[in-house]
Chains A and B, each alone.
Chain A
Amino acid sequence: MKKSTLKLLDKMQKVDRRIIYIIVAFSIIIPLLIPFNSKTYVTEPTSNIYQKVDSFAGDDTKAVLMSFTHNASTMPELFPMEVALLRHCFERDIKVLTICWLPAAAPLVDYAINQAKEGYDVQSGVDYCNFGYKPYALRLPIMLGMGDDIAKAVETDSQGRKIENLEIMNNIKNYDDMNIIVDFAGNSSAIQWIMYARAKFGANIAAGITAVMVADNYPYLQTGQLLGMFRGLKGAAEYEKLVDVFAAYESDKFPNGRPFSKEIINDTWVPITRDKVTYEVDGKMIETDADLQYKFKKARIGMNAQSVAHVMIIVFIILGNIGFFLTKKKKKKIV
């Protein structure tokens, strides 16, 4: 090997970490500023949640409970999935209840609801209800209490209204009616729902978690104790696509969204660079009148940047290893 190549590899071994930071930063900034269309593959853990939630469409006797167990530090990953799920519920006329367990989560719930409900004719206490902040120390009695009577366990919503008097609670009494609980967290708090709400009352549990926690939660998914799982930003991007392709779909045949189909989701792509929801089916572009707002494609644009950053990191790892082994070989020769 040439001396100059070895010198270069040697230099790369000693490269300042700040240069790597700058390169990684640019690999994220550029795809965010100049978004490109990439295909989002929907995986089973995400589509399982979608199908379960969608099965409640227009059903007055079922509701989805969203449990927020995180603060702003994990917002980039969890917030897009929360907005996507809320949008799905508002789009398909599904009752949705929210509860949070950390003081800093309280404004995040309001923020998510306000972002998702824009443009939808939904009312607090009728179509959705925010139970508000409940102290983490009371999580266990509330979890167990909701198995018997939600109105007794939670008592009041975030605005101080008695839950039993709210219209949304008609036909909703306990976990039998609130048949899916999605816990959003940067830790393994979904396991508590599995332990108490699932093991004792048979409720369906799903988890929206940060990518760090995915490996820890996989055993519960594999054993079927978790119905589905949003896995970090990728899970949010998948759900955004599912909502665009099915829940937000409008045609003469399906005026309020169409039912889930594996064939359709595999064959349909939604280009994110367009302002209108456009479906690419068999190479043909079908543009609809619906706006594809930035807040509803945030995770998919983020995943573009994620992909570029991952490629950069892989390249750095490969180069670092080549440099390491070649310099090691060279040192051995000298000895």
Chain B
Amino acid sequence: MFETISNFVAAFLTLCIFSFLYKDNPFYKFAEALLVGVSMGYAIPLLFENVFMPYVYTPIFLDHKFIIIIPALIGSLYIFRFTKNLSWLARYPITFSMGIVGMGIPMSLHSSVLVQMRSAMLPLASINITLIFIGTVTILLYFFFSKAHKGIYGKVTNVGIWFMMIGFGASFGYTVMARISLLIGRIQFLLGDWLGLIK
């Protein structure tokens, strides 16, 4: 019984969202606002239960680890973002967050730059590696703006543009595939779970 009712509610809200394809309307706006409200309503108690209780309340009040009070106080300074005069206090927790970002830089350099460079410097033994080599070099030359893209240099950078266009095309193709997949998921729900036409 519960499943039938929840399927009806989900189907109604899905159709409300789909109604935007015809034109903007109150049903769409209602479903959109409901989504935001429900998401927040769901997240707040979950965060309280899974973050505040185990990482703030329990260590301080039950385990008596009073050192936790310091990071808890620093974190609570974020609240001052909402005041005009004291908003500068929020910069202190941000500083700690930035420190964590800095911690990731060496490992990010390793995985996103060094390993990528290493695999672009292989012997040109196959067509794939040759294509990767030509693509990497021509695109890097395209982004070298200290020299005008004219003459032979301009033709080489044009090859880089072609490589980028193919890359953008692949990305766009995958985007279309993803959007259609989402539509398939919803239609599978409407026809299967709701109307019971697919078994």
A residues in contact (CB < 8 Å) with B: 18, 21, 24-25, 28-29, 32-33, 73-77, 79, 103-104, 106, 132-135, 137-138, 140, 155-156, 191, 194-196, 198-200, 210-212, 214-216, 219-220, 222-225, 231-234, 294, 298, 301-302, 305-306, 309-310, 313
Contacts and interface: CB of A to CB of B under 8 A. Distances in A.
B39 to A, nearest CB: 7
- Describe B's contact surface by its main secondary structure: helix
Given A306-B180, A309-B180, A29 B50 contact: no
B69 interface: no
Interface in B99-123: 100, 103-104, 107-108, 110-112, 115-116, 118-119
Interface in B173-193: 174-178, 180-188, 191-192
Contacts of A231: 174
A216 B184 CA distance: 23
A223 B115 contact: yes
Interface of B: 21-22, 39, 42-43, 46-47, 50-51, 54-55, 100, 103-104, 107-108, 110-112, 115-116, 118-119, 132, 167, 170-171, 174-178, 180-188, 191-192, 197-199
Given A28-B180, A76-B182, A215-B171, A104 B47 contact: no
Given A103-B50, A223-B115, A302-B185, 15 more contacts: A24-B180, A28-B184, A33-B191, A76-B185, A104-B42, A140-B103, A191-B112, A211-B174, A211-B178, A212-B175, A215-B171, A225-B115, A302-B181, A306-B181, A313-B176
A21 B107 contact: no
B177 A28 contact: no
B198 A135 contact: no
Contacts of B42: 103-104
Q: Which of A75, A76, A134 has the most CB of B within 10 A?
A: A76
A158 B184 CA distance: 31
Contacts of A194: 111
A223 B119 contact: yes
Nearest to A144: B103
Contacts of A77: 178, 181-182, 185
Contacts of B132: 222
A199 B174 contact: no
A50 B7 CA distance: 34
A250 B50 CA distance: 43
A82 B197 CA distance: 24
A294 B198 contact: yes
